[in-house]
Amino acid sequence: MVKGWCADDGVVFVSLNHRLGVEGYGLFPDAPANLGLRDQLAALRWVHEAIAAFGGDPHRITLAGQSAGAISTGALIAAPQAQGLVRRAILQSGAPEASDRDKVRRVVRRMANRLKVPATAEAFTAVDRDLLLRTQAEVGRLSSPVLGGPAFGIVTDDDLVPRDPLEALTEGGAAPGLDLLTGWTGDEYRLWLVPGGLVDRVDRLGPVALAGAMARCHCGSEVPRGYRALRPDAGTAEIVGQLVTDHLLRLPLHRLADGREGPSYVYEFAWPSHRPGMGACHALELGFVFDSGDEPDARKLAGEGAPQALSDAMHGAWVRFVTDGNPGWQRWDANHPVRIFDDAPPAVAYGPRDRELALRTATTADATEDPPPTAPSELRSVISRLRRNGALRRR
């Protein structure tokens, strides 16, 4: 399954399971918050205590995750209870964040209404598990990482996540000596828009889709206009996808690398999949990180004939980072060095996303001080129109 991570690399690889969805991240009056994250903390403590018996070093533990796993990793390295348990961290295509507690409660209430039970952990535990999972899927059916929707996530609480993890890491001094490797793919959004044929639909919706993206990203029309100027040949779907990706990933990961005390290394995975239209989509890099390109799951995204040299380069960089904290390129500084992984010779680009992100940071202060009062109602209206047009409906 993860053939590339083995003793031959000097790495002991440990994976774990934890509670997900409403069971892991539902907010209930009769249960602690963040149960899924608490599962992960328990596993991390076990690894710290027991890994020496498997040939590992408890003082050189690297915690790694991709997408939601990266969000969990960010929360754990910021958590007071996890300080000292981790030496290094890898965050792939996910930034530290805390979800809105009221939003999570609303999702729980929607499920409770459908199930006709109280919105308590005790009542949900008594529900048939298959019915619980079906109801959860129904409630989140129209959710999209691009335009949002009902979802569960890590929230602030009284002990494990007492502060937004990104703030704790950049302003609160959490994990000061930790080495960090983080980055993103070039076309994250294509994983959600391409397989269902949504690129063409979003392109046809044009201003409606852009309005939804602006509301989701809390920005004015000058931002997508700036993106359009930088990408004059891009369709609406690409503008929307890259705008939301910057909002959710690249901007907070830049902030993380800029604001923390320890060394950080940043990458961008830019190799385009051989699958038509997928580009450098979300999760595509995993087959290269694990050197598992010949496995069926990796081929589903990459297609046939993925370059082995790219796997060697990426896998080797991750092993070097896990081993000694340096993946082999310049650490993050004011010049914003980013290692680009594609099928070209190894290269570091300086500030490859800075122009787009500058459009966001230039308007952040104004948006924070005086947010558009109509944004919430605008977003609801736009999403309603998108749903009527089928742009968010999954096939």
User: DSSP for 191-260?
Assistant: HHHTTTTHHHHHHHHTHHHHHHHHHHHT--THHHHHHHHH-TT--HHHHHHHHHHIIIIIHHHHHHHHH-
Residue type, 144: S
H or E segment to which residue 324 belongs: helix 308-324
Q: Which of 67, 72, 93, 311 is catalytic?
A: 67
188 is annotated as an active-site residue: yes
Asked if residue 291 lies in contact with residue 311, where contact means CB atoms within 8 angstroms, the answer is yes
Count of Cβ atoms closer than 10 Å to residue 177 Cβ:
10
67 is annotated as an active-site residue: yes
- Selecting among 144, 238, 268, 282, the annotated active-site residue is 282
What six digits make up the tokens of 309?
């040299």
Query: What is the rounded distance in angstroms from the CA atom of residue 97 to the CA atom of residue 55?
Result: 33
What length is written for the chain?
395
Of the residues 188, 238, 268, 285, only one is catalytic, namely 188
Residue 197 main-chain phi, psi, to 5 deg: 70, 25
Closest to 347 (Cα-Cα) out of 328, 320, 325: 328
Q: Which residues contact 337 (CB under 8 A, 6 or more apart)?
A: 266, 329, 330, 331, 348, 349, 350
The phi, psi pair for 144, rounded to 5°, reads -145, 135
Nearest Cα residue to 218 out of 11, 39, 373, 61:
373
Residue with tokens 């408890």: 58
The tokens 């998108």 sit on which residue?
386
Radius of gyration of the chain (CA): 21
**Catalytic residue annotation:** 67, 188, 282
